[in-house]
A = this chain, B = another copy of it.
Amino acid sequence: MADLELQPKKAKKSAKAKNAESEALLFALAENRVAIEGVEPEIDAGRFAVKRIVGEPLTVSADIFCDGHDKIDAALIYGPAEVDPSQWSEVKFQFVENDRWQATVSFDEPGPYRYSIVAWRDLYASWRDEAKKKRDAGKLTDLELIEARDLIKKAADSGRGSKQDQRALAKLVERLEKLAEKGDQDGQYVLMESEEATLILQAAGHRTHLSRYPIDVPVWVDRERAAFSAWYELFPRSQSGDVNRHGTFDDVIARLPDIQEMGFDVLYFPPIHPIGSTNKKGKNNSLTPEPTDPGSPYAIGSKDGGHLAIHPELGSFDDFHRLIAEAKKHGLEIALDIALNASPDHPWIKEHPEWFDWRPDGTIKYAENPPKRYEDIVNFHFYRGALPSLWYAMRDMFLHWMEHGVRIFRIDNPHTKAYPFWEWVIGEARKVDPGVIFLAEAFTRPKVMKRLAKVGYNQSYSYFTWRNEKWELQEYLTELTTEECAEYMRPNFFVNTPDINPIYLQTSGRPGFRSRLALAASLGGNYGVYSGFELCEFLPIPGKEEYLNSEKYEIRAFDWHAEGNIRDDIAFFNRLRNDEAAMKDFRSLAFFNFWNDQVLYYGKRTKDLSSYLLFMVNLDPHHDQGGHFEVPLWEFGLPDDGTIHATDMASGNSLAWTGKIQHWWLNPQDRPYAVFKLTR
């Protein structure tokens, strides 16, 4: 679109010689008269994508202003990343305050999008503003009316807007000219300042000094499961119910109704590939295995194949396909654990020696953290001879499992592989299926975890597993839900994992399992449970944060309905997650006052308050805890002495709270948590 304000005349030669570079800069700068800055959300100046799920609002804020006193207007422009910006949609910005503007959009399909901002001087709005002041002061003259007619004619010349808009504009010009011929000042003015004229000018008027934000900010849109999921992890080989019989995919199929009953939606397995025998680990990570020990599933690769194969004792690809189909019938998606390392027996070692780090003695460097060694595992090298062939092979490996029906990958230790590799390979997988989900199992330094989320991971393991105190839970959740990382990092709150038997749970007894569940399921958009948790399994290797007789090294069998299980609590929270819209927005969290350091108290809500939940969790598994708390009456526009209706969601009891300060008591043996739904 030609900017009528940017039509240079040839200048007389100035006293100083001009140079081309200086003149080019002059015009480049002049093109953006309206300042657009402070754009949020935007990650590292557009280097990485802001994340949203389908249908989730994206509110863009920016400082937009121009020199002088003229009125301005602005629009958010946005569209699929592959579409040329000239074809994007637009939505008008609204002025907020202090030169800050906002606009909100959402996206219907997963995939890559971009947005940017245009802003312009709205000379017609400026005219209206000035003309009104002059008229109020009795100083409006024919001159101002002529100027307005000129602006409207210029709008007609600019050719903006639809044909319908242009017709309306032409008609407006015609009507004004007739009024002008009759000398009807009042008639002209009334029509010029009418809403009708204003809307026509907005739709078809010239955008004077149209300026554009230079960055097309990337937005990655996921399907809902990327931000809202309840994971259940199990070792397929432990599902036979008999420690002497290696479990199969069919054994897992038999367990599906049981898992569905608890209400999970993702069923996740540690690696299912063939397991190596060289330096195989025995029970409890010993270096002296029994011949019958199955080895660690992380020692990937044997004569039966590597990352592309299934461990034969689990079943065939046909069995796997059947499992995926059956799981789907039970509301469950399968997530695979992908660990990018190899047993010394992995076929790729012979096929691709260039992918490994060979030592001068002709051996491969074992995975190690000196002086510790992981003798059953070697690492890939992602550079030198492995670049790009390994990258392609890894991509093809992901695509292979996607072809076999897997849409969720949990990646083991991604922080020990190059970030550029992840950025590239996740991008490649998304080209095939924008709904593919990658969960980063990185328990490491905060900035590294954030970087992995930036380069593309849809979900991230988190420090939740070690946050037990009220102050640290509040601090951590406030960071996750309100700081910049909330725009791109979606934590998954695992209560335990095969590698982490939290100290808290080792000493808390059943009440601690119930309160940790309550926290994970209500605070986390994504949360996860490693099987055994529902049985309050806690036996550690003494003094360590590890499970005794870990399933990583042996086949186990459990009575999944053993007494004292907390399956009902799990089912309760998963039902709540699915029934209450408030649960689906990780960022709708607010902490409120409960005057007891052992009780965490918080709310989640939809914007319209139709789903408004309050949670209280007793963090002390050994004692009753209670106290006064604040009912957020103000959020419902109620006075401090107002009355609100609360439903105790666990018991079904109905309550009426009158007054902002109320009292509650949590008995850890009875139920260490409470959930209330507020309604006016």
Q: Taking the complex as formed, is A424 at the interface, i.e. its CB lies under 8 A from any CB of chain B?
A: yes
Give Cα distance in the complex from A134 to B150, angstroms: 84
Task: Pick the residue among B11, B139, B388, B419 that contacts A35 (CB under 8 A).
Answer: B419
Interface size on A, residues (CB 8 A): 83
Asked if B424 contacts A371 (CB within 8 A), the reply is: no
Closest to A12 in B: B389
Distance A17 CA – B26 CA, assembled complex (angstroms):
47
Q: Indicate if A451 sits at the interface (CB-CB under 8 A).
A: yes
Verify B32–A420 contact, CB threshold 8 A: yes
Q: What are the residues of chain B within 8 A of A133 when measuring CB–CB? A: 370-371
Residues B416 and A69 in contact, CB atoms below 8 Å apart: yes
A119-149 CB contacts (< 8 Å) to partner B: 130, 133-134, 136-137, 139, 143, 146-147
User: A45 CA to B48 CA in the complex, in Å?
Assistant: 13
Q: How far is the CA of A448 from the CA of B65 in the complex (A)?
A: 8
Select the stretch in A2-10, A107-115, A295-303, A650-658 that faces chain B: A2-10
The distance in angstroms between the C-alpha atoms of A393 and B11, with both chains bound, is: 9
Residues of the B chain whose Cβ atoms lie less than 8 Å from the Cβ of A163: none
**Is A177 located at the chain interface by the 8 A CB criterion?**
no
The answer to the question of A385 belonging to the interface, with a C-beta cut-off of 8 Å to chain B, is yes
In A390-448, the 8 Å CB interface with B consists of 391-393, 395-396, 399, 415-421, 423-424, 427-428, 445-448
A542 within 8 A of B: no
* This chain: copies in complex: 2
Bound-state CA distance A360–B148 (Å) is: 11
CB pair B33–A420 under 8 Å, yes or no, is yes
The closest CB in chain B to the CB of A383 belongs to B5
CA distance A383 to B31 in the complex (A): 10
Of all chain B residues, which has the CB nearest A371?
B137
Assembly CA distance A370 to B134 (angstroms)? 6
> How distant is A658 from chain B, measured CB to nearest CB, in Å?
38
CB nearest neighbor in B for A18: B392
CB distance from A387 to the nearest CB of B (A): 5
With A98-B446, A143-B361, A445-B65 as contacts: A27 and B150 at CB distance below 8 Å: no
Residue of B at shortest CB range from A427? B25
Does residue A577 face the partner (Cβ distance < 8 Å to B)? no
**B30 to A383, Cβ gap below 8 A?**
yes
Q: Is A608 an interface residue (CB 8 A)?
A: no
Pairs A-B, 8 closest by C-beta atoms: A45-B45, A11-B389, A29-B420, A137-B371, A133-B370, A14-B392, A146-B360, A5-B383
Sample 20 A-B pairs with CB under 8 A, ordered by A number: A9-B354, A11-B388, A11-B392, A14-B395, A16-B396, A18-B392, A22-B424, A30-B387, A30-B421, A30-B424, A32-B420, A33-B383, A45-B45, A67-B415, A67-B417, A68-B416, A98-B446, A143-B359, A143-B360, A209-B383
Give 20 new A-B contacts, CB below 8 A, not counting A22-B424, A26-B424. A5-B387, A7-B387, A14-B396, A15-B399, A16-B392, A16-B395, A16-B396, A25-B427, A30-B388, A30-B391, A33-B419, A35-B419, A35-B451, A38-B447, A65-B447, A65-B451, A67-B416, A98-B447, A143-B361, A150-B360
**A contact set with B: CB distance below 8 Å:** 4-9, 11-12, 14-16, 18, 22-23, 25-27, 29-33, 35, 37-38, 44-45, 47, 63, 65, 67-69, 98-99, 130, 133-134, 136-137, 139, 143, 146-147, 150, 209, 214-215, 354, 359-361, 369-371, 383-385, 387-389, 391-393, 395-396, 399, 415-421, 423-424, 427-428, 445-448, 451
